[in-house]
Amino acid sequence: MFPRSLPSPVILDSTTAPVLRWGIIGPGGIAHVFAQGLLGNTNQKLVALASRDKARGDAFASAYDMTEVFTDMRAMVASPNVDAVYVATPHKYHFAHAMLAIEAGKHVLVEKPFTTTAADARTLIAAAQAAGVFIMEAMWSKYLPQYDIVRQLVADGVFGDIIQINADHGQDILHVERVTDVEGGGGLFDLGIYPIAFASTVFSATPKVTASGSLTASGVDAQAAVILDYPDGAQAVLSSTILAWTPTRASIGGTRAMLELHPGFYQPTGLTLIPQGGPGEPLSWLDESGIGIKLGLSYETTAFAHYVGSKQGESPLHSHHEVVQNIDIIDQARHQIGALLPQER
């Protein structure tokens, strides 16, 4: 039956999360967004930064009143003043830098994509488990209020049989150097992972992957259209491009209801639930918290701290199995398109 109202999102309280002392590896753009969210919407502490460029590191630390700057990553992760490490370096370094933190006995939040191969993802997870530390992919969209509403609607069976998911993500970012790097660039790693993670929010089964697309001059994927066929006959139709801006919409089509996530589906936006062939009026929810993209990463930071405090083995909203499966989907799609990492050539 179509609901009379949408469920309220259930969000972890930032004020009750254990306060962790954070160190960041890499003072790039995403590190700035992370720091702004952490300081602007949580009680967490930002205490240390590792940067190979001392001047750049000092400037970052000064902007956020951080007490320590290291040019040696090993020294930072070994610091007794650091409880958790956020890996914010380019994709090709995620595995190595997360492993440094694990070996130092620190909890680790790894910026998406978790790693550049599913094999590396499995190795990293196994290492964290062996070391007794918590590790999580920083797939921030999973922790947004609207995604909790989506999960509740799916669990309540509001859609009936879910037939198809659609999601796209495109940005004109071909000029960004790291995006064309053959060791970890491409649209799937940078942008396509969001549509894939949206699909895995709804479907847990392992899909058959079919992909087509085009390559940049450097050999990374410029565009990718990915179809995921699930054992029950449902499909996810997903796309990414680094050549142009696209609407970045996402939808769930079921036999009883359809859901549209508003443009910027991976950001704090909103959604509309529409009945399919039955009684009921469309229901909309808008994120009016005022927490936009610059503070939105605070949700994942709060969740991470709660999970560490409650000694979770993995994120209940983004399991290790899901992390590995999503990277494996990217692996398969890349290979079908011809976007190979140097070690795969």
Q: What is the pLDDT of residue 52?
A: 94
**From the CB of residue 62, how many other CB atoms can be counted at a distance below 10 Å?**
10
Q: What is the pLDDT of residue 245?
A: 98
Does 70 fall in a domain? no
Does 15 fall in a domain? no
Residues 335 and 274: their CA atoms lie apart, in Å, by: 37
Helix ranges (H only) for the chain are: 29-41, 54-63, 73-78, 94-103, 118-131, 145-155, 187, 193-202, 293-296, 298-309, 320-337
Spell out the per-residue pLDDT of the chain, length 345, in tens. 899 999 999 999 999 999 999 999 999 999 999 999 999 999 999 999 999 999 999 999 999 999 899 999 999 999 999 999 999 999 999 999 999 999 999 999 999 999 999 999 999 999 999 999 999 999 999 999 999 999 999 999 999 999 999 999 999 999 999 999 999 999 999 999 999 999 999 999 999 999 999 999 999 999 999 999 999 999 999 999 999 999 999 999 999 999 999 999 999 999 999 999 878 899 999 999 999 888 999 999 999 999 999 999 999 999 999 999 999 999 999 999 999 999 999
- 338: three-class secondary structure by DSSP: coil
Q: What is the pLDDT of residue 278?
A: 78
Contact status, residue 134 vs residue 105, Cβ threshold 8 Å:
no
Q: How far is CA 50 from the centre of its chain?
A: 22
Contact status, residue 255 vs residue 163, Cβ threshold 8 Å:
yes
Task: Look up the domain containing 173 and give its range.
Answer: 156-288+318-344
CATH number of the domain within which 209 lies: 3.30.360.10
What's the half-sphere exposure (Cβ side, CA atoms, 13 Å) at 251? Answer: 14
Q: What is the pLDDT of residue 279?
A: 85
Q: What is the DSSP letter of 212?
A: E
Amino acid 228 reads L
Q: What is the pLDDT of residue 93?
A: 98
Residues 73 and 101: their CA atoms lie apart, in Å, by: 9
- How many distinct structural domains can be found in the chain? 1
Does 29 fall in a domain? no
Does 104 fall in a domain? no
pLDDT per residue as tens digits for the range 98-131: 999 999 999 999 999 999 999 999 999 999 999 9
Does 221 fall in a domain? yes
Contact status, residue 197 vs residue 137, Cβ threshold 8 Å:
no
Does 168 fall in a domain? yes
Does 24 fall in a domain? no
- 128: three-class secondary structure by DSSP: helix
What's the half-sphere exposure (Cβ side, CA atoms, 13 Å) at 278? Answer: 16
Q: What is the pLDDT of residue 277?
A: 83
Omega into 342 within 30° of 0, i.e. cis? no
Please state, for a pLDDT cut of 90, what percent of the chain lies above it. Answer: 97
Does 197 fall in a domain? yes
